[in-house]
């Protein structure tokens, strides 16, 4: 999984949605209740959290001009196709499993997540502004890290919080809990969720920041679902409880030429075999909203309180309608999350038109350069599934076609996030 060198996108506050030129019957908008730039955790003991998330932006609305009939995928076949659609990895044994848990004990990783104001302030607001959910409740924090969410819950009046962390950061979390005087409320448990024995039979709330790049990278979602099925009471709450994956298309000639096409001629030598590998690695980067060529398309919405583990494997159709005459070099995926059990609907988006997060966006470069005219549609489907050898990696298959006035092309490409 590639990354560009740091090219931070400034926060935008124009309040536009990706489908700003469309008239939609329903839009979900979140109001930003704080000023950008407020330091995380500022105000010491203040109960009212502000500057949460990128709530001045809209979660992207899908293109509703596409009818259901145009886009229906057989649900019973979707998961099966997702698992059977990818070629075998052969002798490639390198995966993210070898360093997954250790990576979360690195303070640089923890710092990046804590300083992501969109992420951390949203969770803080969800907890502090909805104390009725947490008061005298037993909470399970899955993948607790430093224990910041557990601390929020304890401060909001939780009866007890069980914080499960598998990495070495669990030892640090215990010290943090102690230092802040919450040892009688927060119990840090070191180990895998699947191997932990909780001191209680059931919990009232499960809270977790499980989302990875492309929403599903690292597959922590299945761990949350395991905890839900084992410990959550029947009328319990999962936070967040909704997550949606979106797709759009961009013009990105300069970067593709510099980093992908470069391998065609390296000081007079053909190294295009490396180009093929580079094309298969999705790029995690911040996309400038001015690069967007098409409307966005909702691919999948997941209800974390009800879905099964297999629902994270799917095939979804897309229809991306061009908003101007341009070229398409890549597809871009991003996600939104929602906390629908709050007094007021709360959430954040990782889309290109929203305030930047550490998740950025996921860019999938196409082998073809597509010439598209305004109003024309790039259509196809995306298949997503955990890698067979290492479920924390994600395999992606994209089928696409464009039949336009100046370009007629179709193709299939495979990607692997690792």
**Which residues are annotated as catalytic?**
209, 218
Residue 354: both structure tokens together = 């929203």
- Token code pair at residue 397: 């298959």
Q: Is 39 exposed, middle or buried (0-12, 13-18, 19+ CB in 10 A)?
A: exposed
Residue 308 in tokens: 């099964």
Q: What Å distances lie between residue 132 and 135, 136, 158, 233, CA to CA?
A: 6, 9, 10, 17
Angle in degrees, 0-180, between the axes of helices 107-114 and 117-128, rounded to the nearest 10: 60
Place of tokens 């923890």: 110
Place of tokens 């919405």: 301
Helical pair 117-128 and 148-155, crossing angle rounded to 10 deg: 20
DSSP-derived 3-state class of residue 109? helix
- Rg of the chain over Cα atoms, rounded to whole angstroms, equals 22
């Amino acid at each position: 999984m590639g990354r560009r060198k740091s090219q931070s996108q400034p926060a935008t506050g124009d309040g536009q949605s990706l489908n700003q030129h469309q008239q939609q019957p329903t839009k979900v908008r979140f109001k930003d209740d704080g000023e950008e730039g407020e330091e995380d955790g500022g105000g010491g003991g203040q109960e009212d959290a502000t500057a949460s998330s990128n709530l001045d932006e809209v979660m992207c609305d899908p293109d509703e001009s596409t009818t259901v009939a145009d886009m229906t995928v057989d649900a019973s076949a979707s998961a099966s196709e997702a698992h059977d659609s990818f070629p075998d990895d052969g002798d490639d044994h390198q995966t993210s499993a070898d360093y997954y848990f250790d990576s979360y004990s690195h303070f640089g990783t923890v710092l990046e997540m804590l300083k992501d104001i969109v992420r951390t302030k949203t969770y803080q607001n969800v907890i502090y502004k909805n104390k009725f959910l947490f008061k005298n409740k037993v909470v399970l924090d899955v993948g607790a890290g430093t224990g910041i969410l557990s601390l929020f819950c304890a401060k909001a009046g939780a009866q007890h919080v069980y914080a499960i962390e598998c990495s070495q950061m669990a030892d640090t979390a215990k010290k943090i809990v102690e230092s802040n005087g919450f040892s009688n409320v927060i119990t840090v448990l070191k180990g895998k969720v699947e191997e932990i024995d909780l001191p209680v039979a059931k919990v009232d709330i499960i809270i977790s920041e499980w989302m990875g790049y492309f929403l599903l990278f690292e597959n922590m979602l299945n761990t949350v679902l395991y905890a839900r099925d084992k410990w959550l009471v029947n009328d319990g709450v999962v936070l967040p409880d909704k997550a949606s994956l979106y797709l759009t298309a961009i013009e990105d000639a300069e970067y593709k030429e510099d980093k992908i096409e470069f391998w065609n001629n390296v000081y007079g030598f053909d190294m295009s075999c490396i180009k093929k590998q580079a094309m298969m690695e999705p790029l995690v980067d911040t996309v400038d909203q001015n690069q967007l060529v098409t409307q966005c398309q909702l691919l999948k919405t997941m209800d974390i309180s009800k879905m099964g583990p297999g629902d994270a494997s799917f095939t979804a159709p897309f229809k991306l309608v061009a908003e101007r005459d341009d070229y398409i070099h890549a597809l871009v995926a991003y996600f939104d999350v929602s906390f629908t059990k709050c007094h007021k609907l709360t959430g954040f988006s990782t889309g290109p038109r929203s305030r930047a997060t550490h998740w950025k966006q996921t860019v999938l470069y196409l082998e073809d350069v597509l010439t598209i005219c305004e109003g024309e549609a790039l259509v196809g489907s995306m298949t997503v599934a955990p890698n067979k050898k290492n479920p924390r990696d994600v395999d992606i298959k994209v089928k696409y076609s464009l039949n336009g006035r100046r370009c007629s092309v179709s193709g299939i490409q495979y990607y692997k996030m690792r």
